[in-house]
Amino acid sequence: MIGRVLLGAAVLFLLAFLLTPTSFAWLFQPFTRNNAPAIYTQTPLWSLTLSHLALVGMAVVASTVIALVLAVLVTRPAGREFLPLARTVTAVGQTFPPVAVLALAVPIMGFGAGPTLVALFLYGLLPVFENALAGLTGQPPQVAEAARGMGLTPRQRLTQVDLPLALPVILGGMRLTAVISLGTATIGSTVAAKTLGEVIIAGLLSSNTAFVLQGGMVVGIIAVLLHEGFQTLERMAAARTGLNR
């Protein structure tokens, strides 16, 4: 109950701050020096937030689709031998620093949202892939036996039994990917992607702690909200299957 009230308060605060950032100037004034502006106004914060979210959304959808396809393929009898390869690819995607991806991608793709999208996509593959793998392989053996015994074809077993039962775990993977991407996307502004990182970088360049704080705060609050939203979805999906998390 208290959690819900806090979340509601966070949503209201975030909306109020994004729509009328200047009315919160008093809050950030203490963090400025030499009469520097307390609120970033070069680009409207709501516009940066929307493009930040759009970038993260696209990256999460892309990672999820590719990771799911990979996980389904390597759990089929014909694809089983590719499991170690797929694991390696997604693990490398996770360990390769996003900054390095940006540096490598800019010469090819130019400045803007493209390189950031690639970096986030690679970074987000692993959680969805590993969770989907766990969800698809960790089902009660009797259920799989019954599904075969009833005469479901392999495709029907995948779409009607395996994937619906794995849904809560897959959503868990998407939650991790979304939260990680949300934070990581800020570095996209070093290569001119429109993200909330722009505010943070402006703060760093001008030694204005207030800018850094407000950029970080908006990202942080959205991360918490995303996390809670996904967890609610996971709980609903898990309750529907009757499987305890």
Binding site for another protein (CB under 8 A): 140, 142-143, 145-153, 156, 161, 164-165, 240-243
CB of 163 vs another protein, minimal distance in Å: 10
Q: Which long-range contacts (CB under 8 A, 24 or more apart) does 105-109 make?
A: 106/191
Q: Which is closer to another protein, CB of 161 or CB of 178?
A: 161
Output 107 or 151, the one with its CB closest to another protein.
151
Is the CB of residue 63 less than 8 Å from the CB of residue 124?
yes
Which CB atom, from 167 or from 196, has the smaller least distance to another protein? 167
Instruction: Tell me how far, at minimum, the Cβ of 150 lies from another protein, in Å.
Output: 5
**CA 98, 103, 109, 112 torsion: positive or negative?**
positive
Rounded CA separation 154/191 (Å): 46
- What is the C-alpha to C-alpha distance for residues 40 and 42, in angstroms, rounded to an integer? 6
- Give the phi and the psi of residue 243 in degrees, each rounded to 5: -90, 135
Q: How far is the CB of 139 from another protein (least distance, A)?
A: 9
Q: Under the phi-then-psi rule, with left for phi > 0, alpha for psi from -120 to 50, and beta for the rest, what region is 109?
A: alpha
Nearest approach, Cβ of 65 to another protein (angstroms)? 22
CB-wise, 86 or 136, nearer to another protein?
A: 136
Smallest distance, another protein to C-beta of residue 132, A: 16
124 versus 172: smaller Cβ distance to another protein: 172
Region of residue 35 (phi > 0: left; psi between -120 and 50: alpha; otherwise: beta): left
Between 132 and 182, name the residue whose CB sits nearer to another protein.
Answer: 132
Contact 189, 201 (CB under 8 A): yes
Query: What does the alpha-carbon distance between residue 183 and residue 235 come to, in Å, rounded to a whole number?
Result: 24
Least Å from the CB of residue 134 to another protein: 17
Query: b/e string for 179-197 if b means 16 or more Cβ within 10 A?
Result: bbbbebbbbbbbbebbbbb
CB of 169: closest distance to another protein in angstroms?
13
Q: Which is nearer to another protein, 43 or 156 (CB)?
A: 156
